Structure 1
Amino acid sequence: MRFSISSDRLKDVLTKVSAVVPSKTTLPILQDILFEVNGNTLSLSATDLEISVKVTLNPIEGEEDGAVAIPEDKLTSIIKALPEGLLLKIESLDSDRVLITTNKGGEYKIPSSSAEAFPTIPEDIAETAAFRAQIYGETLKDIIENTVFATSKEEIRPATMGVFFQFKRNEFIAVATDGYRLVKIAKKGIDFEGEDTPGVIVPAKTLQIINKSIEDEENINIAINEKHIQFSTENISIVSRLIDEKYPNYESVIPYENNKELVVERDIFLSTVKRVSIFANSTTNQIRFALDPAGYLEISAEDIDFGGSAKEVLNCTYNGEPMEIAFNAKFIIDILSHLDSENVLFKFGSPTKAAIVQPHEQSADKEILMLVMPMRLNA
């Protein structure tokens, strides 16, 4: 194998491929990136056996066809450390070494492995998939950014470690929950081929890799079969195993009947919560809201262990009776940070009931609903 490529171009593609390489594994070959040259086409592949990424570059200056697996950590470290604008030549020296030379006289030899030892990357599943859809890159990234944060990190609840995707009636629904908060996004106007899907669970790690790998202006093709989902463009293919679990019945926990409505300016509310939460107990992160129908919202926190407290009052619109309710400040900050409307709408039921949070002004083609569980008020 022998080819030439600019350092900037290789650095960019390594960023996309290396995201899937595991930092720890019992199979050392999984920490390699597979390089394949065929004519003037270069393909880079990586996998952790659950997620596979393949990026194709064309044209390059191909000199000799071949394939070799190169350790990701050493290769990435070298390429990142190089100055911009260099021309690199990469070639196999023998069965277990690769030579990288630069047009400025640099020379680096890296151990390598045989391409035959590298795991087989899943082929394009689009032709055999029962379901196919296309979505704009910017739209998909927006949905990922506003759902993944609410997924669970607890392996004892594997279903909630991913985002639930469902396509039905020209609508794309994405749901994430960790048991304490929930996000549901319904995006209209998505064209797809096949029957409405009952729903699949896509691992959060897969979606985080996609978010780093696709461009806003690209059209993303989605294909789903029984066990896998594929996201692809002209130059990149990401195939992931689905989470084979039953997703919680999220509709049953959304309190649509909540009728005590609070409207407040998002930026001011967010900055106030951040300041007051500095004084919250470090274990519970509890922050308290006192709602007054006269148009005031008092936000307070107290850390009895260290003797600190904080309180601020904001103007708001509130149509219910006076009420106090407590939340984990971190969850409120997360939710407010993932809404971009000027004003936010909270819908409350009681101090022990989940609150609904939404943009006060929803767009015609996208509906966002977030839910956050309250905490028991400290005495």
Structure 2
Amino acid sequence: MKLTIERAALLKSLAHVQSVVERRNTIPILSNVLLEASDGKLSLTATDMDLTIVDEVEAAVGEPGATTAPAHTFYDIVRKLPDGAQVEVIAGGDASQMTLKAGRSTFTLATLPKEDFPAGGDAELPQAFALHAGELRNLVDRTRFAISTEETRYYLNGIYVHATESDGVPVLRAVATDGHRLARFEMPVPDGAASMPGVIVPRKTVGELRKLIDERDEAIEIALSDTKIRFAFGPTVLTSKLIDGTFPDYERVIPSNNDKMLEVDCKAFAQAVDRVSTISSEKSRAVKMALNSSSMTLSATSPENGSAVEEIEVDYGGEAIEIGFNSRYLLDIAMQIEGDSAVFAMADAASPTIVQDVKDASALYVLMPMRV
């Protein structure tokens, strides 16, 4: 294999694939990226056996061929090369080495046989539809902060995506929860998605997908089955196993009779919570909200640090109430609200609270209170 490629193009492609590769691997070949050169293109593939990414980039291919190279080392080398460098990649008859040349620099990397690399295999993915990159970013951003990191409840370690109805209108809905908070986002169901199965997209897949679509402005082709999902855009294809589990009945935890309605300027609220929570202990991060008809008093106390109090103006018509929340969770939700105002629907100090953007009903957040 022999090819020449522009450093920026190779770096961009390597950045896409190398982040899938785990830093610690018991199987050596999974630390490597598969390189396949032919017909003026270099194809790069990386996998952790659950998640596979393939990216393609144009290159001047002198001799077609394939090999595998250590993903993180390869990426670090290319990252440190000067801008505009032309990178020559050579893997000859000795399949155990690959040489990289750029300007006066020469690197020799140990390789592993391409035959050892796990075969991807094209699984049958019967359900297919397209989502614009902006819509997919919105779906991910509005929900992923609530994904659980608790491995014992593995079925909460992802975003549950399914087609359903909301007030008689077909929608595509995404839900994530960690037991303390819940995020639900919905959009009109795309063509071809109305009969899709409910699937749980793993946390790592969600993170990698979000990085890949960060600045894209095109349709993302999505295909899935009960066990796998594939996202394709341009020369990049991300394929992932789905979480094999049953997502809980989240509708049961969304309260329907919360009657104490609070409207608050979201930016002022978030800044006040952030300031007051500086005092709260690292473990609980608790902030208390005391409400009366025209104002909210935010407070936090900590045996080690002291106390903090701040008052802000709000629009609240219910009876006086004191309720506590984890400040980090409040700030996570506030960051998702793009409008000026947020509305809190509360029942009492011990029941779940609903938070929504006043001008955007597509996202709904449920937050469990804390004892403070």
Q: The TM-score by the shorter chain falls in which range? A: over 0.9
Alpha-carbon distance between aligned partners in 1 of 2:194 and 2:135, rounded to the nearest angstrom: 22
Deviation at 1:144, TM superposition (A): 1.0
Please give the secondary structure, in 1, of the residue aligned with 2:91.
strand
Please give the secondary structure, in 2, of the residue aligned with 1:101.
strand
Alpha-carbon distance between aligned partners in 1 of 2:271 and 2:121, rounded to the nearest angstrom: 46
> What corresponds to 1:146 in structure 2?
142
Moved >3 Å (runs of 4+): none
Does 2:31 align with 1:31? yes
Question: Which amino acid counterpart does residue 374 of structure 1 have in structure 2?
Answer: P
Deviation at 1:258, TM superposition (A): 0.8
Please give the secondary structure, in 1, of the residue aligned with 2:332.
helix
Q: Do the aligned partners of 2:197 and 2:225 also contact (CA within 8 Å) in 1?
A: no
In structure 1, the gaps of 5 or more residues are none
| Structure 1 residue corresponding to 2:154, chosen from 135, 155, 158 | 158
Alpha-carbon distance between aligned partners in 2 of 1:195 and 1:374, rounded to the nearest angstrom: 35
In structure 2, the gaps of 5 or more residues are none
> What corresponds to 1:355 in structure 2?
353
Does 2:227 align with 1:231? no
Post-superposition Cα deviations, 1:318-338, rounded to whole Å, max 9, x if no partner, equal 121100000111111111112
> What corresponds to 1:280 in structure 2?
280
Post-superposition Cα deviations, 1:53-84, rounded to whole Å, max 9, x if no partner, equal 00112x32111111100001211110111111
Deviation at 1:307, TM superposition (A): 5.2
Question: Which amino acid counterpart does residue 357 of structure 1 have in structure 2?
Answer: V
Structure 1 residues 138-287: aligned runs within 5 Å: 138-168=134-164, 170-188=170-188, 190-193=189-192, 195-214=194-213, 215-287=215-287
> What corresponds to 1:66 in structure 2?
65
| Closer, same or farther: CA 277–177 of 1 in aligned 2, 3 Å | same
Post-superposition Cα deviations, 1:121-179, rounded to whole Å, max 9, x if no partner, equal 242x4xx3231110011211121122111101111000110000112465221000000
Please give the secondary structure, in 2, of the residue aligned with 1:73.
helix
> What corresponds to 2:90 in structure 1?
91
Alpha-carbon distance between aligned partners in 2 of 1:168 and 1:181, rounded to the nearest angstrom: 21
Please give the secondary structure, in 2, of the residue aligned with 1:369.
strand
Q: Do the aligned partners of 1:279 and 1:301 also contact (CA within 8 Å) in 2?
A: yes
Question: Which amino acid counterpart does residue 212 of structure 1 have in structure 2?
Answer: K
Please give the secondary structure, in 2, of the residue aligned with 1:257.
coil
Question: Which amino acid counterpart does residue 39 of structure 2 have in structure 1?
Answer: G
Structure 1 residues 47-126: aligned runs within 5 Å: 47-57=47-57, 59-93=58-92, 94-102=94-102, 104-123=103-122, 125=123
Alpha-carbon distance between aligned partners in 1 of 2:55 and 2:332, rounded to the nearest angstrom: 33
Question: Which amino acid counterpart does residue 134 of structure 1 have in structure 2?
Answer: A
Question: Which amino acid counterpart does residue 75 of structure 2 have in structure 1?
Answer: T
Question: Which amino acid counterpart does residue 208 of structure 1 have in structure 2?
Answer: G
Alpha-carbon distance between aligned partners in 2 of 1:280 and 1:11, rounded to the nearest angstrom: 43
Please give the secondary structure, in 1, of the residue aligned with 2:151.
coil
Please give the secondary structure, in 1, of the residue aligned with 2:137.
helix
Alpha-carbon distance between aligned partners in 2 of 1:88 and 1:26, rounded to the nearest angstrom: 31
Post-superposition Cα deviations, 1:218-255, rounded to whole Å, max 9, x if no partner, equal 21011111210111113111110000100010011000
| Closer, same or farther: CA 195–332 of 1 in aligned 2, 3 Å | closer
Structure 1 residues 126-141: aligned runs within 5 Å: 128-141=124-137
Deviation at 1:194, TM superposition (A): 5.8
> What corresponds to 1:9 in structure 2?
9
Question: Which amino acid counterpart does residue 299 of structure 2 have in structure 1?
Answer: S
Q: Do the aligned partners of 1:39 and 1:64 also contact (CA within 8 Å) in 2?
A: no
| Closer, same or farther: CA 319–167 of 1 in aligned 2, 3 Å | same
Question: Which amino acid counterpart does residue 301 of structure 2 have in structure 1?
Answer: E
Question: Which amino acid counterpart does residue 283 of structure 2 have in structure 1?
Answer: T
> What corresponds to 1:296 in structure 2?
295
| Closer, same or farther: CA 341–122 of 1 in aligned 2, 3 Å | farther
Deviation at 1:38, TM superposition (A): 1.6
| Closer, same or farther: CA 143–194 of 1 in aligned 2, 3 Å | closer
| Structure 1 residue corresponding to 2:333, chosen from 315, 335, 343 | 335
Q: Do the aligned partners of 2:54 and 2:236 also contact (CA within 8 Å) in 1?
A: yes
- Taking only aligned residues, the RMSD between alpha carbons, in angstroms, comes to 1.3
Alpha-carbon distance between aligned partners in 2 of 1:39 and 1:160, rounded to the nearest angstrom: 44
Please give the secondary structure, in 2, of the residue aligned with 1:210.
helix
Alpha-carbon distance between aligned partners in 2 of 1:84 and 1:40, rounded to the nearest angstrom: 22
Please give the secondary structure, in 2, of the residue aligned with 1:255.
coil
Alpha-carbon distance between aligned partners in 1 of 2:86 and 2:126, rounded to the nearest angstrom: 44
Q: Do the aligned partners of 1:68 and 1:92 also contact (CA within 8 Å) in 2?
A: yes
Please give the secondary structure, in 2, of the residue aligned with 1:246.
coil
Deviation at 1:213, TM superposition (A): 1.3
> What corresponds to 1:21 in structure 2?
21
Alpha-carbon distance between aligned partners in 1 of 2:142 and 2:160, rounded to the nearest angstrom: 13
| Structure 2 residue corresponding to 1:369, chosen from 364, 367, 370 | 364
Deviation at 1:9, TM superposition (A): 0.7
Deviation at 1:195, TM superposition (A): 4.9
Q: Do the aligned partners of 2:142 and 2:363 also contact (CA within 8 Å) in 1?
A: no
Deviation at 1:216, TM superposition (A): 2.5
**Aligned pairs, how many?**
366
Alpha-carbon distance between aligned partners in 2 of 1:148 and 1:18, rounded to the nearest angstrom: 22
Alpha-carbon distance between aligned partners in 1 of 2:364 and 2:296, rounded to the nearest angstrom: 22
